[in-house]
Amino acid sequence: MRLDDLANIEWLEPWSPSSAGLEIELEKEIGNGHPLHGKEAIAVGRRNDQDDVLFFLPNNSQPLAVVHLTWKGSTEQSPEWPRTKFYSSLEDWIQHRMNLDHLELTLR
């Protein structure tokens, strides 16, 4: 998967393209032992009603991750935070995350 592959996502609410700078907050929050520690991560999408961010991981076997940023502004003490869920492909993320989040939103 390449970053260009993510350029044509048909975003469904509550997801949308992300703004710049979320990588900086991710770097502040992840510490030793976190599965993203030391890995390149590029923000590509954001859930508008929560602090979940979709990151592209160009050198990872699972190239997408949704990270629930804590906005603590510093390193989390537990490697469980920020909470992170990996996806094996764009299709995996769309089917098991974006579509479900959209359905949940529309059923409220």
The reported pLDDT for the residue numbered 12 is: 97
Measured distance CA(16)–CA(11) in Å, rounded = 6
Q: What is the pLDDT of residues 49-106, one digit of tens each?
A: 999 999 999 989 999 999 999 999 899 999 999 999 999 999 999 999 999 999 999 9
The reported pLDDT for the residue numbered 108 is: 80
Strand 42-47 with 15-17, pairing? antiparallel
Per-residue pLDDT for 21 more than 90? no
Residue 104 corresponds to which tokens in the numbers above?
A: 């949940």
Query: pTM of this prediction?
Result: 0.95
Domain extents in the chain: 3-107
Residue 95, SS3 per DSSP = helix
Burial, 74: exposed, middle or buried (Cβ in 10 Å; 0-12, 13-18, 19+)? exposed
